[in-house]
Amino acid sequence: MNESLISTCQLFLIPLTILFAAVGVANTRFVKLLVCLLGVALAALWLYRIWLWTGLSLIDRRTGLGLSGMFALCWVLTLLHQVKSSFGGGYERR
């Protein structure tokens, strides 16, 4: 595997993982929403960086896109949940 690709993936993987923990310990919905926005933006940058990378082998490109795509999907789903809970009136009790 390409050494610079490994370094680039680590550059994005570590902050995104820390941000997932930050969502869990945030005290307010607003802070959770801001962390989710930051996570989506960072995951999008990672996906964009791998997508436009020239000179990668096909397997390295697919591995990088798969890893960054999984994180991007998780962040988008987390953001959608936070938007729903922030602006949807909260959770319904029965």
pLDDT tens digits, residue range 24-34? 999 998 999 99
- Residue whose C-alpha is closest to residue 68's, from 1, 9, 22: 9
Residue 60 lies in a domain: yes
* 33, part of any domain: yes
For residue 55, being part of any structural domain is answered with: yes
Per-residue pLDDT averaged across 63-92, rounded?
88
Kindly report, residue by residue over 39-75, the tens digit of the pLDDT. 999 999 999 999 999 999 999 999 999 999 999 999 9
Q: How many domains does the chain have?
A: 1
Identify whether 17 is part of a domain.
no
Per the structure, the complete domain to which residue 61 belongs is given by 28-37+49-86
Give the pair of three-digit tokens for residue 81. Answer: 């949940």
**Which pTM value belongs to this model?**
0.86
Instruction: Give the 3-state secondary structure of 46-89.
Output: HHHHHHCCCCCCHHHHHHHHHHHHHHHHHHHHHHHHHHHHHHCC
